[in-house]
Amino acid sequence: MTALTVNNVAPGWEPVRDEFLAHLASGMDRGASVAVRHKGELVVDLVGGHRDKEGTVPYDADTLNIVFSTTKGITALAVAMCVERGLIDYNEKMSTYWPEFAAKGKGNLTVAQVLAHRGGIFTVEGPITLAEALDWDTITSRIADTTPFFEPNSTHGYHALTYGWLGGELVRRVTGKSIGEFVTSEIVAPLGVELWIGLPEEHEHRVAHLMAHPIPTFPPEIAKFMNDHGGPGSEAATALSLNGAFGPGAFNKREVHAAQIPGANGITNAKSLATIYAAVIGEVNGVRLLGDDTLRLATTSETPEGEADRILGHKTVFGKGYMLHSDRNKYAGPGSFGHDGAGGSVAFAQPSRQLAMAYVMNTMLTVYEEDPRRMGYINAAVKCADSVG
């Protein structure tokens, strides 16, 4: 059995560790971390496996991991903190804060609509290189000059990469700080956690190498659905790669880690993510990141009931950037909010249980339903929370 490099579990929370050990032993997880805070206290902090593809370097407390779209929840929090400070109004037009955004039929889109993936700007118009996508001024200018790919606010369609630059530019316009600077100074520093959107060179050696399990064989009807919604030439493929700029292996590259891609390249660990979410719903070491009223606004759905996501195909539910509990994204049940990322990572909170948790891994899994590792950890944590009271 693969040894744990961090094994801190409060009494009554052992089932989460059992789940973690089982996934390491089976190879479903090669290197990962899982953390849970309950009533503000860190009750689970688990790290184990290996962080390299050869299986020679331990995945330990020093390891950092890219978390893909789990980063979106942090960007949503940064915007919400600006709302709380009176710098942004969710119901105001994006162009109030970013005048150039009004071009090509986007002038009436509100902040809330854009954060809920209702803007139709899931990629940019025309070819774009990786180098151009990694340059902040270039990519935000391209987004502002893009005609929506569907009628604004007519439906929602996952802005897989563009979401982060949309939210990040909004934060920059009202604070004068880049999204990476804002997250570092206003979220990370007060809590003493580790998370970067734009990783400094001195931490690059700590980043786990991303790997992937072989893509499984799906039943024909599911395979067709997945190909229709994510195969070559689909809108999803365009959104997820930004017209091909982000090709295979891109997220293992140093230049991608160094850039600010606030929809996809947060680099962190599970303990830091769980701590951030715990500080959104309550106090952690005297720090509370959002008040109840702003949290309620941020987590109120902007998605009509039963509306399918044009990009993903599934019925997803979004608040102002946060993914909310739905049949597709169950998390811990009603009231949960957060975000998950490609390949399996997740971070979320559920205020009613005073529960915040995160899962970060270096081995990506392609699934049709929810990631079984992620749901295994969540289900175990929910049972423990209900048991310990």
Running along the chain, 389 residues long, what does each successive block of 10 average in pLDDT?
Answer: 86 97 94 98 97 91 97 98 98 98 98 98 97 98 98 96 98 98 98 98 96 68 61 84 93 97 98 98 97 98 95 93 93 97 95 98 79 94 95
Q: How far is CA 274 from CA 39, 177, 191, in A?
A: 12, 24, 11
Pair of tokens at residue 133:
């996508």
Q: One-letter amino acid identity for 365?
A: L
Which pLDDT value is given to residue 215?
Answer: 67
Q: Is 172 in contact with 181 (CB distance < 8 Å)?
A: no
Residue with tokens 């949503």: 76
Q: What is the pLDDT of residues 47-74, one digit of tens each?
A: 999 998 888 999 999 999 999 999 999 9
Three-state DSSP at 332 gives coil
Residue 362 · residue 348 · CB < 8 Å: no
Task: Report how far apart, in Å, the C-alpha atoms of 92 and of each of 113, 151, 170 are.
Answer: 10, 19, 12
**What is the 8-class DSSP label of residue 50?**
B
SS3 101: helix
In the DSSP assignment, the letter for residue 124 is: -
pLDDT for 216 equals: 60
Helix (H) or strand (E) holding 135: none
Considering only CA atoms, give the Rg of the chain: 19
Residue 155 CB-density burial (10 A; 0-12 exposed, 13-18 middle, 19+ buried): middle
- Nearest Cα neighbor of 346 from 356, 354, 38, 77 is 356
CA distances from 250 to 12, 71, 104, 134 (A): 41, 17, 30, 11
* Helical spans, DSSP H, in the chain: 14-26, 71-84, 94-97, 111-115, 130-133, 136-144, 162-175, 179-183, 189-191, 220-230, 235-241, 254-258, 270-281, 292-298, 372-388
Amino acid present at 60: D
> Strand 323-324 relative to strand 65-66: parallel, antiparallel, unpaired?
unpaired
Give the CA distances from residue 145 to residues 123, 176, 310, in Å, rounded to whole numbers and listed in that order. 11, 22, 22
CATH code assigned to 64-371: 3.40.710.10
**What pLDDT score does 1 carry?**
44
d(CA 207, CA 286): 30
CB 387 within 8 A of CB 12: yes
Q: What is the pLDDT of residue 102?
A: 98
C-beta of residue 150 within 8 angstroms of C-beta of residue 128: no
Q: How many angstroms separate the CA atoms of 351 and 336, rounded?
A: 7
Burial, 262: exposed, middle or buried (Cβ in 10 Å; 0-12, 13-18, 19+)? buried
pTM over 0.75, yes/no: yes
> What's the DSSP call for residue 204?
G
Q: Domain extents for the chain?
A: 64-371
